[in-house]
Structure 1
Amino acid sequence: MEHEFYRGLAQRVRDVAERVDPFTKLRLLRLAERYAVKGIRPEPAPTTERPPPIPRPHLHVVLAPEEG
């Protein structure tokens, strides 16, 4: 169902592209192509890289002779 919506939207954008200047026509046709394939193949999920974990050194507590 979603694919049908975007196909119809792509056709409307192509119809408008026929009545505009060449620069705008090119941009509209590219937009129509993106709409035409939307819903057919899933868009890749954005990848977010996690930063590496912060190294936490093992701390050794050394007590002075008078403290321990």
Structure 2
Amino acid sequence: MEEFYRGFAQRARDLAEKADPFTRRRLLDLAQRYDLKSRPSGSARPLPPPRTNPPSTLFAGPGEA
């Protein structure tokens, strides 16, 4: 998968060389995003910790609705 994104990044840079300034900037931004995706998963941003459920004692017994 990493090679796939690297290839897309290079294609975007190749197209940017021949594009007008507005399109060039957009293509280079796109290439940068693909470069970030092409990094090995170990260097990716870590996932947040899993959510925990509140203790069931909070919901036990009669309560107001």
TM-score bin (small chain): 0.5 to 0.7
Unaligned runs of 5+ in 2: 49-62
**Identity percentage over the alignment?**
51
Unaligned runs of 5+ in 1: 46-55, 59-68
Tell me which stretches of 4 or more aligned residues in structure 1 moved more than 2 Å.
42-45
Higher alpha-carbon Rg:
1
Relative to the length of structure 2, the TM-score reads 0.61
Inter-CA distance 22–42: structure 2 relative to 1 (3 Å threshold):
same
2:64 corresponds to: 57
Relative to the length of structure 1, the TM-score reads 0.58
RMSD over aligned CA atoms reads: 2.4
Structure 2 letter corresponding to 1:34: R
> Which protein has the bigger helix share?
2
Higher mean Cα deviation, 2-11 or 32-41? 32-41
